[in-house]
Structure formats: structure tokens, C-alpha cells
Amino acid sequence: MAKPTKTNPTSSTPTPAQDAKSADLEQNREYGHGEFLTSNQGLRVNDDQNSLKGGERGPTLLEDFLLREKITHFDHERIPERVVHARGAGAHGYFEAFDNASQYSRAHFLQPGVRTPVFTRFSTVAGFRGSTDLARDVRGFAVKFYTQEGIYDFVGNNIPVFFIQDAIKFPDLVHAVKPEPHNEIPQAASAHDTFWDFISVNPEAMHMIMWVMSDRAIPRSYRMMEGFNVHTWRLIDAEGKSRFVKFHWKPKLGIKSVAWDEALQISGKDPDFHRRDLFENIEAGNFPEWELGVQVVEQEDEFKFGFDLLDATKIIPEELVPVTIIGRLVLNRNPDNYFAETEQVAFHPGHIVPGIDFTNDPLLQGRLFSYTDTQLTRLGSPNFHEIPINRSIAPIHNNQRDGHMRQQINVGKFSYGPNLLNDNTPKQAKQSEGGFASHQERVDGHKIRARSKSFVDHYSQARLFWNSQADIEKVHIIKALRFELGKVEAESVRQRMLLQLSLVADELATRVAQGLGLEVPSAEGVQLNYSVGADTDPAPLQSKPATGNESKSDALSIENHPLNANKSIETKQVAILATDGADGAAIAALTKALQAQGATAKLVAPHLGQLKVSGGVALTIDFSLQTTASVLFDGVYVVGDGQVLSQQHDAVHFVNEAFRHCKPVAATAAGQALLSEAAYGGAKNILTSTGVSIGDGSHAQFLADLAFGRFWTRELESEPKV
Ligand code: HDE
């Protein structure tokens, strides 16, 4: 019988020849279409609708092996979710090295022109698997490279620093941020007592807090985030020379975020917003792309910075060490099955290949233990590397044996080495044969539980971040902290946080305090840092406030980031708000103009079904006002009858909200009446604002506004001075 083919192949489905990993997965794909239903033992099933009973109305018989098999399998369908990063979305793609990569690393996947299949998983951190995509949170950015030398995992985040400096603190951090244990509230949110209590006594978190309170923590799309591998790593070149490196993923679409109020709305209107955005864009052929950048530091320059390269709460400012681009990542295929691939994929920062090595960053060192360990609970067996999505395309030969769910059938009687009876194979590989050998670093010291003094400054880079923000970004950080600390019930925690913020920047602390109705306390004589051992004097570990340090870095801002200099409307979504009788030619022209530049138009109307536009044409409506919301779009264009729409609360709300979220809003002359009706805060007529236009035939102003992005001046103008 001919093998059934996939019934709905998409444009993004590569042929096996294009992608070695896809070919590898093909042996596990099951299509089912057109086949007989069978049991798990291959038996064709005759009746899957009725259980086996003693008489039509009698009890079900224990003999019913088909019932038992089906129910038993169902009963065991769930596995434990990830303890962190539980909610995610995955995609297949490839990485391509540029010609300059090999000067830094001997890794095969970094040699000129080599294309390596990858699987990438993006995630939120704190929320459970079923939580919302738009939580204020760090985003995971993990990439599994199926290299010819084995698996290399890049297990990073969209923020380049972390909350803590030492892995031993990780369980406390996670316990503090997860829902409080007595009532499991709140879900996917850091705005509660335990998180801020922990932060307020751990000043090493202050730099990370600045990032998490910024718009980086509410991305517009997984496709529009940077990625970082946080720690300093080592790259080893062909001569064996080691250099320090920080890795960056730079998104081709720039860095984009949503407004906080918008994030809250999206969480209700479409909690799968980021997952859907990734999936739909890949299906549509809008393949997301990032460039891989490296900041390389020569071994001899290790101590030339005012911070320690081994401290994961520090960046290397791009002004000090520029980022060199060495390759690109393209995601071009959706998973066939969420559970089999996205849920079962298992990343590990310890999965490395020759040409990459670790540093002594104490956060990284602890991670090297954690990731295999956690898979044993989550995936249930040391054989998780055999699950198809985790399987290396480089062959595996070793003397590890057995365990739950073992798939490999090791032939022969030898499972040990060295041996003579099996020609001493599988044999060790020399480095010249691709064998991995750790970088030989001289290590010398006392066995000691302590934090290096070089890790003490917790405020300078937090302040650098604050200084680097555009005015609107500062306002967003202040509002985020007012929200988060406003949800904290213990006033002592609010007070301590204000104190910590005052050591970053007075203006920041004062404005947050105003929102909380509190005064900023004095830091005089207060113990700031509780992250010390019982016999350790905390005084030398009190980091000094960074006042006076006024340096800036554009790469820390979204608004001023060089990646956002190129304005484009590519992959943006526009809602065309229309009514029956609307100008069909205007809709067609606008749709065409948007599509020509890579954007998408969706028709939104008061009802679903067909829209009867001028010229007797009927158009299919994508959404009714009840099934969508303006928060799901990047811009709104009113083409319908503005008089009719202004009578409908949902339509007025649609425009008001888009305006409030600082998005481009436009109308044809016929639709203008809706814009006149919409008013921000009940006061201001939006027609006079920036980013609001009345379209002529070309819609040029709207297209320019859409490319510009957000008109944050509207928010700045409306900002109460307190
Ligand atoms: Fe993770 N982290 N982590 N982490 N992490 C996990 O591994 C851990 C840290 C990151 O999509 C877990 O398979 C410790 C930093 C991502 O599957 C677990 C410490 C960074 C993902 C774990 C950290 C990350 C994880 C949970 C401090 C950015 C999701 C499930 C020492 C560089 C990967 C799992 C995916 C997942 C431990 C800190 C990134 C428990 C102990 C820093 C993207 O092993």
C-alpha cells in the first residue's frame, strides 16, 4: 500500500533533502488519513463507540481490553509541566554561519556557509502551561542546533542579565515569584508580596528588575525580541585559543512591545496571542529571522572592565565591546505536533560541541546540573535523548544501557570499555577526530562558600539602564512599578523597594513613591543586602549607590535601539473597520497597499458573514466587533459609515482603545465621524493628534504612521504630573 501523504502540506513544509532533522523525524511521523482505526497493538477495531457489556443495559465487562487500553492511555496523557518556562511555542528552522564565524570557534556549525537544522522554543517563565502569553515576564529563547558534531543548545532569554548571581538561590527566586503556596494566587504575575519581599532584600536583582519593569517584558511578538545567552561563555578557535563571548540574537523585525493596558486586554481577548502570531506567520511564509551576534573579549582583557565577566547580573555595554554578526537563524516550519515536539523538547546549557566551553559563572555552573535532572522528572527517563525531537542527527554509540522506554537496540554482548574483545570500541576520539576536550583552565583556590567581592556593585548597571531609556520608557517603568508594588499588601515591602529604587535613581524612586502615596525612606544605616551567609558581615557587601554615573547605552532602550531605526510595516496587522455600503474601492486599494509592503489587512464589521460594499460586491468579513478587539492589531482604518459606527459602543471602544494604546488610526472621509466621536479620556478630540489621519486615495499618511509604530507622545501628554 502506498504511504499516505500529509493532506494539508503547507508552504513551510520542507522536503527531507532540505533539512536533515526533518528527514530524521519522518521515521516517527504518523499520518492516519484514510487508514483503519487500530488498537495500540495494531488490531483493527470494529466498534469504537460502545463498550463490551453483559447485556445491552448490563454492566461493562472487565474483559473489554479495547476500553481498558483507550482509557488507560488517556489517564496517563499528561506529564509534569516545566517547573519554570512551562508555557511556550516552538518552531523548526535553520542556522547559517557567515564567513567570519570560524575565526572565533572551531565548531563545525560555525564554519563558513554551514547550514544546521534547529528547533526553537520561546516561553514565558512564571506562568503555568495554561496561562496567558502576555504576562509581564522574562521570555525564554532556547535553540537546539542539530549539528554534525552532536546537539548544541543555546538556552537563553530575551533579557541579557538575571535576578541572581549564584544558582543556589534559584529555588528561592522561583518560589517567590510563583503563585503563593497557600492559595496558588496570583497566576503568571510577579505583582505580589512574596516576589517583592525577596527582591527587596536581594539588591543583586536590581539591574534585572529594571529590564523586567520595562517594555521588554511585554513583547509584541516572539518574532520581535532580542535573545541573549546571559552568561559569559568561551569560544575556542582552531588553534585551541579561548576567548570570552556574550551571545546576542538580533531580530530582523526590530524590537517591539505592547502597552501594559493592551497586554492586560490581550490576556483576555486572545491569551494565545504570541503562540498564534508565531504559528500564523510561519504558515503565511513570513519566516522570522534573527542574526547571531557576539561580543568577543580576549583572554588577557578579562579584568579590564569595572565589573566581573562571571557575574550574570552584568552586561558588557555594546559601546565597550561592539557586537559582531556571525550568522543567522530562520524559523520556517511549524511543529507537526505540539506535545511530541514543543512539550517534549529538552534543552540543556551543558549540551555543547567542540569550539564552545563554559566559564566559572556560578549561575551557569548550577544550571549545568539542573537541566538533565529536571528532565528525569518531566520526561520520566534517562532515555529522553531518544525522543525524536531531542535525538541527535550525529550518530550515538556508547556503553550506556537500558532504563525506562529504551528505544535503541544495542546489538552484541559488549557494554563496557576499555575492552579487547570488541576492538576497544566504541572508541574515544582524538581532538583531531572531533573528540571534545574541556578548555584547560588553571583553577587554584580555597574551598569556600562566598561571593566574590568583584560581584558587589548592584546599582551601576541598573542606573545605566535607567539613564538609557527614552522619556516614555521611563514613564512605563514607573507605571509598572506602581502597578506591581501597588499590588503588594505589606507596606514594609513597598518601603524597602522604594529604598532600593532610590539607590538606582532618585527620580525613579520619587515618582514611584508618589503613585504609592509614600515617602522614599532613607538608606542611612539600613542593611540592604540579606544575600549573605550567617557568619558573613554584610557591611562590605553593601554596594554603593550609583549616583553620579550618567553614562548611557542606546542598545538598552527600545525606542533608541539601532535595530529599530529601519521602519517598516512588514507583518503588521491592520483592522479595516467597515459597514455595509462601505467604499469597496477604498478597501481594495488599502488592502493592496498594505500587502504590497508585507502587512496584512483584516475586515472587521458589526456582523459576521458577507459585507455588501459599493458596486454590488460582497466581501468576506474576518471578524465581527464581538469576536475581535483593536488590541490584536497594529493599526485601525475606518472605511465604513462613521455615523452608523459611532452609534455602536463596540466600534467607539475599538477606536478609543487603539488611540489610547498609541497606535495609528485613520479613516476615509465617510468614516471620519467615528473618529470625531471617539475621544480619549472624554476630553481630547483624537482628530487633532499625531498618528491620526483622514485618508486620501493613496492612504500614504496611514502607511507612514504604521511604519512609525507607536505615538507615545499621546501617553506622555496625558500623563498626570503626580
Ligand atoms: Fe533555566 N531552567 N534555570 N534559565 N531555562 C529551565 O529546565 C535553571 C536560567 C531557560 O524551552 C528548566 O527543561 C536554573 C537562566 C530557558 O524548554 C530548569 C537556573 C536562563 C528554559 C531550569 C536557571 C535560563 C529554562 C525547567 C539558575 C537564561 C526553557 C524546565 C541557576 C540564560 C527551555 C527545563 C525550554 C528551563 C533551571 C536560570 C533559560 C529547572 C537552576 C539564567 C529558556 O532546569
User: Is 157 one of the annotated active-site residues of the chain?
Assistant: yes
Ligand 1 contacts CB of residue 655 (under 6 A):
no
- pLDDT exceeds 90 at position 203: yes
Confidence of residue 9 (pLDDT cuts 50, 70, 90): very low
Mean pLDDT, to the nearest integer, of 659-667?
Answer: 96
CA of 213: how far to CAs of 130, 255, 385, 478, 497, in Å? 23, 16, 37, 8, 13
Would the CB of 371 count as within 6 Å of ligand 1? yes
Q: Which three cell numbers, joined as nine digits, stand for 186?
A: 496570583
**404, three cell numbers:** 525506562
CA distances from 50 to 36, 45, 56, 151 (A): 17, 11, 10, 47
- Is pLDDT above 90 for 11? no
Q: Which of 7-21, 221-235, 306-320 has the lowest mean pLDDT?
A: 7-21
**Gap between the Cα atoms of 116 and 327, Å rounded:** 11
- How would you classify residue 384: left for phi > 0, otherwise alpha for psi between -120 and 50, otherwise beta? alpha
DSSP track, 507-521: HHHHHHHHHHT-PPP
Indicate whether residue 214 lines ligand 1 (CB < 6 A).
no
Lowest-confidence segment of 94-103, 361-370, 678-687 by average pLDDT: 678-687
- Specify the pairing of strand 233-236 against strand 356-357: antiparallel
Closest CA to 115 of 138, 148, 140: 148
Per the model's pLDDT, the better-predicted residue between 641 and 678 turns out to be 641
Place of cell 542527527: 393
- Ligand 1 atom closest to the CA of 374, numbered from 1: 44
CA 142 to centroid of ligand 1, rounded, Å = 9
Return the number of other C-beta atoms located less than 10 Å from residue 648's C-beta: 15
Can you give the pLDDT at residue 35? 97
Cis check: omega of the bond before 664, within 30 degrees of 0:
no
Cα-to-centroid distance, 372 and ligand 1 (Å):
11
Q: Does ligand 1 have an atom closer than 6 angstroms to the CB of 121?
A: yes
pLDDT digits (tens, 9 = 90+) for 507-553: 999 999 999 999 999 988 899 999 999 999 988 888 877 777 789 99
C-alpha distances out from residue 177 to 60, 195, 239, Å: 48, 5, 45
The pTM for the full model equals 0.96
Q: Are 628 and 658 in contact (CB under 8 A)?
A: no
Give the CATH superfamily of 569-718: Class I glutamine amidotransferase (GATase) domain (3.40.50.880)
81 lines ligand 1 (CB under 6 A): no
Q: Residue 720: what pLDDT? A: 64
Residue 722: pLDDT above 50?
no
Pairing of strands 665-667, 635-638: parallel
The answer to whether residue 3 scores a pLDDT higher than 70 is no
Q: Residue 17: its pLDDT value, please?
A: 47
Q: Which of 85, 274, 458, 476 is catalytic?
A: 85
- Give residue 721's pLDDT: 56
pLDDT digits (tens, 9 = 90+) for 96-140: 999 999 999 999 999 999 999 999 999 999 999 999 999 999 999
Assign 683 a pLDDT band (cuts: 50, 70, 90): low
Q: Inform me whether the pLDDT recorded for 650 exceeds 60.
A: yes
Mean pLDDT of 426-451: 96
Checking if the pLDDT of 5 tops 70, the result is no
Check pLDDT > 50 for residue 240: yes
Amino acid letter, residue 631: V
What cell was used for 713?
507622545
Q: Which of 92, 108, 157, 207 is catalytic?
A: 157
Of 418 and 10, more confident:
418
pLDDT at 469 over 70: yes
The angle subtended at Cα 603 by Cα 597 and Cα 605, nearest 5°, is: 155
Question: Which residue, among 398, 436, 433, has the nearest Cα to 419 in the 3D structure?
Answer: 398
Compute the distance from residue 329 Cα to the ligand 1 centre, in Å: 21
C-alpha span between 337 and 662 (Å, rounded): 37
- Minimal CA–CA distance to 116: which of 92, 147, 143? 147
Handedness of CA 50, 55, 56, 59 (dihedral sign): negative
pLDDT (tens digit per residue) in 301-334: 999 999 999 999 999 999 999 999 999 999 999 9
CA of 349 to the centre of ligand 1 (A): 8
DSSP label at residue 356 = E
Residue 1: pLDDT over 90 = no
Distance 84 CA to ligand 1 centre (A): 7
pLDDT computed for residue 18 by the predictor: 65
349 touches ligand 1 (CB under 6 Å): no
Among the atoms of ligand 1, which is closest to the Cα of residue 167? 31
In 189-277, the DSSP E strands lie at 227-228, 233-236, 242-251
For the CA of 171, the closest atom of ligand 1 is: 41
13 versus 345: which is more confidently predicted?
Answer: 345
What percentage of the chain has pLDDT greater than the value 70?
96
Ligand 1: which of 81, 82, 249, 311 to mutate, most ligand atoms within 8 Å of CB?
82
155 lines ligand 1 (CB under 6 A): yes
Q: What is the pLDDT of residue 544?
A: 76
Please say if the pLDDT value at position 33 is more than 90. Answer: yes
